[in-house]
Structures are given as structure tokens and as C-alpha cells.
Chains A and B, each alone.
Chain A
Amino acid sequence: MAILTIEKISKNYGPVKALQEVSFEVPQGSVFGILGPNGSGKTTLLGIVMDVLKSTAGSFKLFDELPGAHHRRRIGTLLETPNFYHYLSAVQNLKITAAIKQTDEADILRVLELVDLLPRKDSPFSTYSLGMKQRLAIAAALLGDPEVLVLDEPTNGLDPVGIAEIRELIRKLAAEGKTIIMASHMLDEVEKVCTHVAILKFGKLITSGEVAEILIHDDVVEIAAANMESLFTAVQQMPGLKGLQEKNGVIQLYFVYDTARLDEINRFCFEKGHTLSLLQQKKKSLETKFLELTH
């Protein structure tokens, strides 16, 4: 079953094309990342799915059905900013959320505990810090233990500890079999927690699929020896090699993700008569990868 099916959704704000014929499918049980730089249409897309925005064209389905309010009650959603009644406390706000979601108020203390807000549960929302507001919004999304979560930039405004906690929470929820749809402009966030990803840029879908396929890194190994020219010719016959280039006095060898074996490379070169003066595996920076994908 697909939790969410998006079919050719477009959204125009006057002459601005915020989304252009975006289509993808979120399978049940996946942690689905919607990745894109700021202004790429992530929030607009989720806004349409949540019926707070109207699409210009296209359609979508929730739980393989035409979408309705009763579907949204089965989804815990944090969209863009934490939206609460400023003069009400966390508990009073969540009582309203529970009433709208038609779930049990008894769950309120559990979710407040999960996000460490119990000590401040009776303070008005207006007195909260940015991070606390964000955590309350996450608590609201978790209320009633929904089977699907939609989290738009869930770690926004959190400190490093908070970010780590929320990522851990998302992993735990995913392990419980929940479907999580997460929008983020941070590649490492998506890479760390998601199983699937859709990449948006300027409102266009660049690609979508499993993270393992799309965000895969080549293994890059740098080598050098006394006679670079002869080494360059020799390593071209190395088994498993995807490509190579000479750069800044070293040779970079590319292998499919997780297949480079430094000892084998060393032995291969030695057998060809080259003693390596440099042999190191290089991590491709995530920023480089992200720029590559979105440019």
C-alpha cells in the first residue's frame, strides 16, 4: 500500500511556478525524505497534501483513497512552524489537538514526556523558547500514536543535543513500522534517517527512489608513486575500478560504494612493480554531493 501518492501536482503563485508536475509515491513503512534547498517547494507540496494550500493542477491520494479530513486525523503533522494558541499552555493546546484528532487526552502526558516538556507543561505557549515550541509541535504530531508522521524540517531551531534526540526518536518510530515523511534541506539528515528520498529543486522533481540508490557515494581512493605515468597506465586494468583521474599530483580511483579494498589495491600495484608512496581512502563531502544533485 502507498501511504501517499502524488500525481503531477503543480502550484503557481501568479507567475511563480512553485511546483511543476511533481509525482512520486511514499510506500508504507518507509522513512521518506523530501530533500531540497530552501524555496524548492517542499513545504508547498506538504501544504497541498494537508489541504491548507490548493494545487493548480494534479492530484494526490492518501492511503490509496481520495484524500479527506478523516485521513489527516490518522497522520501526525508538523508543517513549517509550530502553530499553537499563544495564551494556552502546552496541555491546553494538546487537548485541542486531541479533540480535533478524536484521540484520547490521556496520551498528552506521554508525548510531553517524550519531548522533555513535562516540567513546563502548564506554562503558556508564548513563554516558550524556539526549541521548546518546536518540541511541542513534535509532541502534537506524536499525539495519539499515529501510523504516519509528516515532519517538515523537524530539527529546526533545536540545539545539537535536541537534534540528535529527535533523529533518534525518528529512527525509533521507523523501527516500530511507522511511515515517516520528512522534508529537509539537510542532506546528512536525510541520509542518516531516511530509506527513500525525493529531491526537489525550483519546484521540479529531480529524482526519487531509495536512498541507497540515489545518495550513494563512490568510494574514492587516492594513490601516488614515484613513476606516476606508468602507475596511471597500470591501474587501469584493476578489477572493480569504475573510473580514475589524475589530480594535484595524485591519482584518484573510483569504486562502487563499499567495494574499495586498500590491501588489494596495494597488492595489485606492488605486483605491477609500483611501491605506493600514498594510499588513502577519501570521503566525498556531503555538500559536494548535494551541490552535484541540485545543480
Chain B
Amino acid sequence: MWQLLKIEWMKMKSYKVFIILSLFFILGIFTANYIVYSVFANVVSKSDAKMLIPDFNPYDFNYVWQTISYTSGFILIMPAMLLIILVTNEFAYRTNRQNIINGWSRKDFIHVKLMLALVFALVSTLIVIVAGFIFGWASGTSVAFNGFTHVLYFFLKTLSYNLLAVLMSVLIKRTGFAIGVYFVYMGAENIISQMLDVFSLKLKKETSFDPGSMGDYLPMNAADGLLSFPNNSIKKLAASSLPTNYTSLVIGFALAYLLLYVWMSRRTVIKKDL
């Protein structure tokens, strides 16, 4: 597998789109968090809105892991897009065929793409951890790791985004179309998710049955739903009117979707004409 990844690296390392998108992604994580950081440091803490927010800086250690995971989660579309471009390029240039003609098995081809999704997720998580340390120190607190679970949720989310990107790429094969479908699907799922959440609440109020936030059981939302902004004051106020959050159930769904993505991607590449 190491040899296969080395070949993927040869394909990527002098690809301008790869370099530019990677830089933008790293920059994006720091910029997004810096914006949130300075809003809290300079605006919110000095305004009347202080009432509504927690009495801590969300970038203090312990909380920083949750804040940074949640905030960085918004730009995870970038590594996913990069993956779509890299995988669909193979179809566009027909190099997927050439790789196999030259002596890869079909399994080699899809396995290394799935591995790439994993590597992208690991690297993204690593960047977030580094950013966590930097922002934590910047807010002047001492290092602590309570709430680090949120970084693991972040990893799960980026892995889920990336594997879905690989699946869409092998199913759709065309770059622009695949990216388009990815976005449309994200939007559509959000709308359906909101509707399901409203329905969940209605169920909870009208019957004794509490299904939890059902919107979180959808593929992309299962990964999203694990992450939230640390804001206990507001949450406590709203808690009574929210569906219960069954974290382990949501994790279960997220993992099940990961397996589904892997299974479908493998099946598509192994069984069909290339």
C-alpha cells in the first residue's frame, strides 16, 4: 500500500491545482478560526451580547478543541473537492485504464483512492490539532485536553466528506458534474434534515417517543451533527425544546455510512467497465 501511495504522490506533487487548493485549505482553517477568535475577543465580549455567550473564551484550552473542530468543519468541502478533481482526472485522462493496463489491479486503483481519502482526513486533522495549540496558547490558557473527543469527531467528519467525494467521483466520473452533484446533495440533505428535525420535535412533544434529532441520521449530517459550537448558556436555554442528542447513535450512523461509501466505491470500480 505504501508503494501505491507513493505513486499517487508522484501524480499529485507537481499538480498546480493540488498545491493551490492545499494552501488555501490550510490558510482557510487559520483564517476562519482567526475571524471567530477576534470576533469573540474584540466584539462579543465587549457588547451586550455577552449575556448570551458563555463566560469563557471559546478558544481557551479545553474549549478550543470543540471550537476549532466546529469552525474548521465548514471548509472541509475543500479537501473533498480536491479529491473529486484528482479522482475524476483519472477518468478524464483515461489514466485509470492505463494504470490497470500497466499492471495495477482494479482493487489497487480503488484502494489507493480510498487510502488517499484517509490520508487527507489525517492531514486535515493534524492541521486542526496544530491550529488548536496555536489558538489555545494565543488565548493565554495552559494546555489541556478535555474535549479532545471533538477533534476525533472532526476526523470522522472529514473522512466522511472525503469518502463521499471518492464515491461520487467513481460514480459520476466527470469533474464539474461530480462537484455540482456534491454541492446540490449537501444542500438537499440540509433541507431534508431541517424538516426531519422539525418532525422529530413534533413527535417528542405530541407523543412520549423521542427519536432524537432525526436529521442527524442522514449521511452528511451524521458527520456534521457531532460537532457544535461551545455555547452552554444558549444551549441550556434551548435544551428543553430540542430533540435529545443521542451521540453514540449518530456516531453509529456516521460509521455505517463510511462503510457504505467504501463498499459502493469498491464495487463500482471492481465490477464495471472502465
Contacts and interface: CB of A to CB of B under 8 A. Distances in A.
Given A87-B14, A92-B10, A99-B6, A77 B93 contact: no
Given A84-B93, A92-B14, A52 B6 contact: no
A54 B273 contact: yes
Label chain A's interface by main secondary structure: loop
Interface in A74-109: 77, 79, 81, 83-88, 92, 95-97, 99-102
Contact of B102 (A54, A85, A100): A100
Contacts of A95: 10
Contacts of B188: none
A83 B103 contact: no
A50 interface: yes
Contacts of B202: none
A73 B102 contact: yes
Interface string B86-123: 00010001110111111111101000000000000000
B93 A52 contact: no
Given A86-B93, A96-B7, A99-B6, A50 B101 contact: yes
A141 B139 CA distance: 59
A51 B106 contact: yes
B271 interface: yes
A52 B273 contact: yes
A69 B104 contact: yes
B236 interface: no
Interface in B1-47: 3, 6-7, 10-11, 14-16
Contact size class for B? 20 to 34
Interface in B59-102: 89, 93-95, 97-102
A88 B14 contact: yes
A72 B101 contact: yes
A62 to B, nearest CB: 12
Interface residues of A, number: 29
A51 B10 contact: no
B134 interface: no
A81 B94 contact: yes
Contacts of B274: 52-53
B3 to A, nearest CB: 7
Contacts of A68: 105
A70 to B, nearest CB: 7
Max chain B C-beta neighbours (<10 A), residue from A53, A86, A96:
A96
A19 B183 CA distance: 40
B14 A51 contact: no
A83 B94 contact: yes
A77 B7 CA distance: 19
Max chain B C-beta neighbours (<10 A), residue from A50, A70, A84, A101:
A50
B103 A52 contact: no
B11 A83 contact: no
Contacts of A87: 14-16
Contacts of A73: 102-103
B100 A52 contact: yes
A16 B177 CA distance: 28
B95 A51 contact: no
A84 B98 contact: yes
Interface string A254-291: 00000000000000000000000000000000000000
4 closest residue pairs by CB, A with B: A73-B103, A83-B98, A69-B105, A83-B94
Given A73-B103, A97-B102, 14 more contacts: A50-B101, A51-B100, A51-B101, A53-B274, A69-B104, A70-B103, A72-B100, A85-B11, A95-B10, A97-B98, A99-B3, A100-B102, A100-B103, A102-B103
Interface of A: 47, 50-54, 68-70, 72-73, 77, 79, 81, 83-88, 92, 95-97, 99-102, 140
